[in-house]
Amino acid sequence: MNIWRKLLANIFLAGLAASLLLGALESGRAQAQTPSTYTVQPGDTLFVIANRFGVPLADLAAANGITDVNLIDVGQVLVIPGGESAGGVPAWPGETLGELAIRMGTSAEQLAALNQMETSTRLFPGQPVQIPPDATGDTALRFGPVTAVRLPSQIVQGRTGRLAVESSRPLSLTATWNGLPLGIQPAPEGDGRKQFAFLPTPALLGPGPFPVEIGYQAAGRESISQTFSVFVAPGVYDSELIELPDGKGGLLDPAFTQPEIEKLYALWAVADEPLAWSLPFSRPVSLEYPTTSPYGTRRSYNGGPYASFHAGQDYGAPEGVTVTVPGDGIVVLAEPLNVRGNSVVIDHGAGVFTSYWHLSKISATPGQVVKVGDPLGLVGTSGLSTGNHLHWELRIYGVAVDPLQFVEEGVGAWSGLSE
């Protein structure tokens, strides 16, 4: 296993016992928020930041629970109420304010005054820096035949972003997101010169800036790459304190769980299938069945730290309720598993997989091409489960992300280059 897979497997194991014991637990749905954020820099004051973003000082303090406006810390992430991401020129990796000033044809003192920073401040990659209107520097992307790279300014923990790349000729691109290899795909509307990839963000990653590295092999066979930065913003999720009964430790025995995990990660690692879906996903069960344990819920076991999270969306449906396909794809697994019971996994293309655990009956077969609304099984409590429910999971390149985002957004929101 690579580092990402080991990390994901550990998180998977840590959250396993709660998924088995809390299949029918009722909980309020956690809604991820997407506010603009700003990381406090040396020399910043709350008053200066409020003026920079054009928001009242009192509103900024209230949004961040600050009672003393004179007390903020360097590195503190502030929510900007009603604000848009700050514009400006993105900093290069390792660049100081002084080096940026040289690149932009202005003075470090002028940049420092405009951004309320020290002239020696080292910037994080991609950090927006306000530039005076008379600066003479060139902000154009200089990346060979790559003519456009579009990334979200931020991604909320547990959500999925998108990388879109345009080039003057077809390129064989590679990309990583915080070290995770991405499955670059041609955009559906492109001719090989538009490509995209997902940026799946674990619910426990960040907050903070994380690197996206994009590369290709030049005609002279040398490798060319550039690194960009995307900020991961905090999500808003519920928390659960779980007391594991005596005798349940065997649920986490690697001899019992590891073969199943390795089998599933081998499926989820495939990212070269073309996109099979276009419209937003539908729910796998009808709206009458409520969420009993939402994705992303932070979990503490026996009073320990909140170091794991619920990797799927649980619906409290009774036994025998039909589970249907939410988006077009190909069935890659349909069989009983020791821990997850009767299980189905669907490959939707481009590294996107949905999984369905604890079914009482499986109606799909491996290799079957399925369409939205096709039946794939019945709700149950098979495997290591204590109550009838559907555990619905969505993974991209093996990373568990919020499946409800895909109910809200279709392929048009992911693969195109238009804003």
Inside any domain, residue 135: no
Clarify whether residues 353 and 307 are in a common domain.
Answer: yes
Say how many domains are in the chain.
Answer: 3
Report percent pLDDT > 70 for the chain.
Answer: 80
**Cβ 290 vs Cβ 315: under 8 Å:** yes
Inside any domain, residue 386: yes
- What CATH number is associated with residue 159? 2.60.40.10
Who's near 302: CB < 8 A, 6+ residues apart?
A: 242, 243, 244
Clarify whether residues 373 and 291 are in a common domain.
Answer: yes
Let me know how long the chain is.
Answer: 419
Clarify whether residues 250 and 398 are in a common domain.
Answer: yes
Question: Which pLDDT tens digit goes with each residue over 192-244?
Answer: 899 999 999 999 898 888 889 999 988 767 888 988 888 888 888 988 886 75
pLDDT at 20: 41
Inside any domain, residue 139: no
pLDDT at 263: 96
Clarify whether residues 287 and 223 are in a common domain.
Answer: no
Clarify whether residues 260 and 407 are in a common domain.
Answer: yes
Q: What is the helix (H) or strand (E) element at residue 322, kind and residue range?
A: strand 322-324
From CA 97, how far away is CA 92, in angstroms rounded?
10
Clarify whether residues 229 and 316 are in a common domain.
Answer: no
**Cβ 267 vs Cβ 332: under 8 Å:** yes
The count of C-alpha atoms lying within 13 angstroms of the C-alpha of 187, restricted to the half-sphere facing its C-beta, is 22
pLDDT at 44: 75
pLDDT at 112: 83
Q: And the tokens for 23? A: 């299949």
End-to-end, the C-alpha distance of the chain in Å comes to: 37
Q: How far is CA 343 from CA 180, 308, 331, 363, 416, in A?
A: 27, 23, 11, 10, 33
Single out the residue of 373, 378, 372, 376 nearest to residue 358, CA to CA: 378
From CA 310, how far away is CA 237, in angstroms rounded?
10
Question: Which pLDDT tens digit goes with each residue over 167-198?
Answer: 999 999 999 999 999 999 988 766 789 999 99
The secondary structure of 327-373, three-state, reads CCEEEEEEEEECCCEEEEEEEEECCEEEEEEEECEECCCCCCEECCC
Clarify whether residues 162 and 290 are in a common domain.
Answer: no
**Average pLDDT score, the chain:** 81
Inside any domain, residue 213: yes
**Cβ 97 vs Cβ 114: under 8 Å:** no
Question: Which pLDDT tens digit goes with each residue over 367-411?
Answer: 999 999 999 999 999 988 878 999 999 999 999 999 999 998 876
Helix axes 3-14, 254-268, angle to 10 degrees: 130
CA torsion 256→262→268→271, rounded to 10°? 180
Question: Which pLDDT tens digit goes with each residue over 252-261?
Answer: 677 878 999 9
Looking at 180, 211, 233, which one is the last position of a domain? Answer: 233
Read off the pTM. 0.70
- What CATH number is associated with residue 327? 2.70.70.10
Clarify whether residues 225 and 248 are in a common domain.
Answer: no
Question: Which pLDDT tens digit goes with each residue over 51-67?
Answer: 767 777 877 887 777 88
Inside any domain, residue 181: yes
Task: Looking at mean pLDDT, say which of 125-134, 160-169, 218-227 comes out highest.
Answer: 160-169
Q: What average pLDDT does range 101-118 have in this prediction? A: 78
Query: Where are any strands of DSSP class E within 218-303?
Result: 223-233, 239-242, 291-293, 298-301
From CA 299, how far away is CA 310, in angstroms rounded?
7
Question: Which pLDDT tens digit goes with each residue over 318-339?
Answer: 999 999 999 999 999 999 998 8
The more confidently predicted of residues 245 and 196 is 196
Looking at 94, 129, 164, which one is the last position of a domain? Answer: 129
Clarify whether residues 69 and 156 are in a common domain.
Answer: no
pLDDT at 101: 79
pLDDT at 140: 63
Inside any domain, residue 392: yes
Clarify whether residues 248 and 217 are in a common domain.
Answer: no
Clarify whether residues 264 and 375 are in a common domain.
Answer: yes
pLDDT at 364: 97
The more confidently predicted of residues 153 and 360 is 360
- The domain of 108 spans 36-129
Clarify whether residues 264 and 385 are in a common domain.
Answer: yes
Inside any domain, residue 140: no
Inside any domain, residue 134: no
Angle at CA of residue 276, ends 270 and 277, nearest 5°: 120
Looking at 96, 129, 162, which one is the last position of a domain? Answer: 129
Name the β-bridge partners of 390.
315
